[in-house]
Structure 1
């Protein structure tokens, strides 16, 4: 089972929410301005998360309803992204940006589909158990018969949470990881180009000044003609100035790459957390089903039924809490993915002067 990160409640100023105007940064992912704790410690109880959670809990989680929910909650949505990229020149950067939007949408769809599993576990397993626990607390023959009948029904219930080692979970994480590696590689290349451009410009300037001094010293009497001579002398000796537009373009690329790289970095950690929660729920339900199966094997023995009901009651509290936590993380995922999709789109649409 993967290590599960722990999150402390975020302070009000640390909450990211779904703000429409995130502030871009041209620093790297590891920049001191990028506070990982602040990025990860979203307050679960922000108004946007509470509202989203209420809307999610109200819907019948059919594939059609979940897809509608995705189209309403994912921002910027697919149509807005396509509109922004429609006229963009097809370059390696454009392809990476387009892939980021597609992968983040697919990963969001995958996380949202987990709510189907939450709903199934609640409706088919833990609600019948809760109704059993709320019954007559006296352990008599009538209660044992009722519990046994409930066990018979629940024994046919399939665990809705597949193992995190399943292909769907691995594929989702693999896509995000591979994209992060590509973005980091491209980001390093762009930063390297800007550094080389800076050194080349500085070297050209130094060469130009040296040529001025040399020409001035050797031809002071013909100073009027020094500048044409300077051009002739300095031209072959000095590295030519690279266009300013090239540096401007690379800085723009860095801004976009940085936004996408930060997004994949945070979303990858969110996936690890969700992975951990799903693993716990998978194992918890597996153990509960084992208790139910053992209870059926013991028959309608009063003392055996009493012990299994006692164990399931303890498990019920923890499992329903874990289901609530997973729903909270699904809603927080939307906050994170919307923040970084908006940040990247803002970088794409911001005019550069």
Structure 2
């Protein structure tokens, strides 16, 4: 019976099917079918100094004192505290402008104004996004640690899985047991919430932008009306002066446009400054494109891990029989380059997300500072 077993038997149930053998090739075909400018822009983005600076900071290992703490005390809670401390240090370095600068600038604005609340929400969402992205980097590291023993085993085994000896199958069997003890690191529901938050914020900003455009049109029309009214009033005043021969009416009439026009110009200037801040905030919400890509990559990685675990469980249920183990090894060998490419893509989009967030935060804070300086 074992000699007739094919790997189709090892396929997980329809409820949790394995991913395509090359999910990354699907992404490549989609990108190739789009405009060549997209590929060029992507290459330019990952070669930018800001992108490389972010990648270097995030990839920086913990400081020596962190490592010493782990060597002295191996308790799990100590290691978690150490990782959290390192996480906060890196986030402080990477996220720019930093939260303290943002709070200081916003403190000078009207605290209860609708614009202040909108831009404050944007800064909060962008900070949360950066925090989740940095947490996801740690998840990528854990996934690599989880797969490292398997990768090492695959490099040591012969390329022809059907030629594996019983001792080699026993070694693989033991690794399958250890692999299945790990939880899937890519159970990451947070990005759905982040995407919804940015979508809601973008909708609110667009509503406020439409109101702002409407006010600017009203102020423009009011300014023109004041000018026309002023000209008409001065004309009437001149005629009255000729008839009545008095200068008092001229002085009174001329004061009307003097008060009206500057007042409307000030209101229009404030509305334009508000519109620029709203434009900057709306541009910042486009980071959701990176969030969607990250979310998609996380889903695909989660599916790969679940499929691998399901195949291994099937082999484990059969005991140490060579044929199921050989088939699992054969499939793992096919999936390994795909899995590694997905991890690489995920890291790139995390760094790009950080870069996009920082540029948007900087542009918005600059607009706010310019308006406050006026």
Q: Normalising by structure 1, report the TM-score.
A: 0.80
Instruction: Classify 1:233/1:347 alpha carbon distance in 2 versus 1 (closer, same or farther; 3 Å).
Output: closer
Of 37, 50, 67 in structure 1, the residue corresponding to residue 52 of structure 2 is 50
The question of whether the paired residues in 1 share the 8 Å contact of 2:139 and 2:185 is answered with yes
Instruction: Classify 1:322/1:181 alpha carbon distance in 2 versus 1 (closer, same or farther; 3 Å).
Output: same
Q: Indicate the residue corresponding to 1:67 in structure 2.
A: 88
Please state if 1:332 is matched with 2:352: yes
1:310 to partner: Cα distance: 0.9
Of 224, 229, 247 in structure 2, the residue corresponding to residue 202 of structure 1 is 224
Q: Indicate the residue corresponding to 1:99 in structure 2.
A: 121
Deviations 1:232-280 (A, max 9, x none): 59969xx95443221111111111111111101x111111111111111
Instruction: Classify 1:228/1:276 alpha carbon distance in 2 versus 1 (closer, same or farther; 3 Å).
Output: same
Q: Indicate the residue corresponding to 2:202 in structure 1.
A: 180
The question of whether the paired residues in 1 share the 8 Å contact of 2:240 and 2:249 is answered with no
CA distance in 2, matches of 1:235, 1:256: 33
The question of whether the paired residues in 2 share the 8 Å contact of 1:255 and 1:347 is answered with yes
The question of whether the paired residues in 2 share the 8 Å contact of 1:190 and 1:250 is answered with yes
Q: How do 1:255-274 and structure 2 match up within 5 A?
A: 255-264=276-285, 266-274=286-294
Instruction: Classify 1:47/1:298 alpha carbon distance in 2 versus 1 (closer, same or farther; 3 Å).
Output: farther
CA distance in 1, matches of 2:40, 2:323: 51
Q: Indicate the residue corresponding to 2:151 in structure 1.
A: 130
Task: Give structure 1 stretches of 5+ with no counterpart.
Answer: 9-13, 15-35
Query: Equivalent residue of 2:181, what SS?
Result: coil
1:205 to partner: Cα distance: 1.9
Please state if 1:145 is matched with 2:170: yes
CA distance in 2, matches of 1:312, 1:39: 34
CA distance in 1, matches of 2:40, 2:232: 50
1:159 to partner: Cα distance: 0.6
The question of whether the paired residues in 2 share the 8 Å contact of 1:215 and 1:229 is answered with yes
Query: Equivalent residue of 2:183, what SS?
Result: coil
CA distance in 2, matches of 1:279, 1:320: 15
CA distance in 2, matches of 1:202, 1:127: 72
Task: Give structure 2 stretches of 5+ with no counterpart.
Answer: 1-18, 20-25, 63-81
Q: Counting helix residues as a fraction of each chain, which structure ranks higher?
A: 2
Q: How do 1:263-342 and structure 2 match up within 5 A?
A: 263-264=284-285, 266-342=286-362
Q: Indicate the residue corresponding to 2:182 in structure 1.
A: 157
Q: Indicate the residue corresponding to 2:73 in structure 1.
A: none
Instruction: Classify 1:4/1:188 alpha carbon distance in 2 versus 1 (closer, same or farther; 3 Å).
Output: farther
Instruction: Classify 1:212/1:51 alpha carbon distance in 2 versus 1 (closer, same or farther; 3 Å).
Output: closer
Deviations 1:100-126 (A, max 9, x none): 1121101110111111221111101x2
Instruction: Classify 1:48/1:205 alpha carbon distance in 2 versus 1 (closer, same or farther; 3 Å).
Output: closer
1:204 to partner: Cα distance: 2.4
**284-293 or 55-64, larger mean C-alpha shift:** 55-64
1:227 to partner: Cα distance: 8.2
Work out which of the two has the higher radius of gyration on C-alpha atoms and give 1 or 2. Answer: 2
Over aligned residue pairs, what C-alpha RMSD do you find? 3.2
The question of whether the paired residues in 2 share the 8 Å contact of 1:288 and 1:315 is answered with no
Q: Indicate the residue corresponding to 1:33 in structure 2.
A: none
Instruction: Classify 1:336/1:38 alpha carbon distance in 2 versus 1 (closer, same or farther; 3 Å).
Output: farther
Instruction: Classify 1:151/1:207 alpha carbon distance in 2 versus 1 (closer, same or farther; 3 Å).
Output: same
Q: Indicate the residue corresponding to 2:16 in structure 1.
A: none
**297-306 or 206-215, larger mean C-alpha shift:** 206-215
